[in-house]
């Protein structure tokens, strides 16, 4: 396979799966990891991909990854984050859950809990929890985004502002090096900001790939949350922000299977 053809195949795989890993690509194409790294560097130089730990991911732009691709991206890490975040929420609590595949993982971990009131603008979360008798689900009204089932817009913002809850579980599309929390859709950002303003304890949930991405719309800042649950935080600046502002940093490693 010519290098350009291999690079095209690598890019197609990244578009389908969200990210690609050096070792897996080397085995697939029968070349050395160094050769794959050179391919990734070429694609990154062309701004088609961005480097992440162990490989590369789709370059960020004004469009987010397809939702189903996001489900598979860092799936084990998201499941671990979901369990760790759920452990911070006691039975009998009220909480907001916003849009995102990581917040869905939190909802999955809460499914067997008792006495919860869950208010969400995420149809997927509502559908996951609606059959559980110990959980009351309240869903925001507004414009339903076809891509991911998120409910956005001013009607959703107004709905959220009616409540004052114990916890907010908030996901983001990217975390900048300066601690800025970022997303792609300004309508979704408005809802997320309303959620953060009307919760007593804000739990930010984001896997480590969010440190390598960017997005154009600012939600807020890491210093505004109370707990940050991730699988791994290698960013010294983010760790310093958490320490300086009293943000509880929880690193939840995925379970190892043998």
Tens digits of per-residue pLDDT, 237-248? 999 999 999 999
pLDDT in tens, 171-230: 999 999 999 999 988 888 999 999 999 999 999 999 998 998 888 889 999 999 999 999
Are both 45 and 156 inside the same structural domain? no
Q: Mean pLDDT, the chain, as a whole number?
A: 89
In a domain, 113, yes or no: yes
**150 and 226 together in one domain:** yes
Q: Specify the pLDDT at position 60.
A: 52
Q: Please check the confidence at residue 122 and state whether its pLDDT lies above 90.
A: yes
Structural domains counted in the chain: 2
CATH of the domain at 28: 1.10.10.10
pTM of this structure: 0.74
Say if residue 104 is in the same domain as residue 170: yes
Residue 104 sits in the same domain as residue 142: yes
Q: What is the pLDDT of residue 32?
A: 94
Does 257 fall in a domain? no
95 falls within a domain: yes
Domain check: are 105 and 151 in the same one?
Answer: yes
Reported as a single tens digit per residue, the pLDDT across 60-107 is 543 455 555 565 567 888 999 999 999 999 999 999 999 989 999 999
Residues 168 and 114 in one domain: yes
- pLDDT confidence tier of residue 51, bands split at 50, 70 and 90: confident
Q: Answer with the one of 12, 27, 59 that is the final residue of a domain.
A: 59
Q: Is residue 258 part of a domain?
A: no
What's the CATH number where 150 sits? 3.40.50.1360
One domain for residues 94 and 114: yes
Full residue range of the structural domain in which residue 77 is found: 68-251
Q: Are residues 142 and 218 in the same domain?
A: yes
Same-domain pairing of 47 and 89: no
Same domain, 17 and 101: no
**Could you tell me if 94 and 117 are in contact, meaning their C-beta atoms sit under 8 angstroms apart?**
yes
Across the range 140-166, mean pLDDT stands at 91
Percent of the chain with pLDDT over 70: 90
């Amino acid at each position: 396979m010519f290098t350009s053809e291999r690079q095209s195949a690598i890019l197609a795989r990244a578009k389908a799966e969200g990210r690609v890993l050096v070792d897996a690509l080397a085995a697939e194409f029968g070349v050395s990891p160094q050769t794959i790294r050179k391919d990734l560097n070429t694609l990154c130089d062309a701004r088609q991909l961005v480097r992440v730990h162990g490989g590369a991911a789709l370059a960020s732009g004004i469009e987010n990854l397809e939702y189903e691709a996001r489900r598979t991206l860092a799936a084990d890490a998201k499941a671990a984050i979901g369990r760790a975040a759920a452990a911070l929420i006691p039975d009998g609590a009220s909480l907001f859950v916003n849009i995102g595949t990581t917040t869905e993982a939190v909802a999955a971990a809460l499914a067997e809990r008792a006495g919860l009131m869950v208010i969400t603008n995420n149809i997927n979360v509502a559908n996951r929890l609606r059959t559980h008798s110990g959980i009351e689900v309240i869903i925001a009204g507004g414009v339903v985004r076809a891509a991911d089932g998120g409910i956005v817009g001013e009607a959703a913002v107004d709905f959220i502002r009616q409540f004052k809850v114990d916890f907010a579980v908030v996901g983001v599309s990217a975390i900048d090096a300066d601690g800025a929390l970022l997303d792609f859709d300004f309508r979704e950002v408005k809802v997320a900001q309303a959620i953060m303003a009307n919760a007593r304890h804000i739990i930010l949930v984001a896997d480590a790939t969010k440190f390598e991405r960017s997005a154009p719309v600012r939600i807020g800042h890491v210093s505004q949350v109370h707990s940050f649950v991730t699988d791994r935080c290698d960013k010294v600046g983010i760790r310093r922000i958490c320490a300086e502002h009293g943000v509880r940093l929880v690193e939840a490693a995925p379970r190892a299977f043998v």
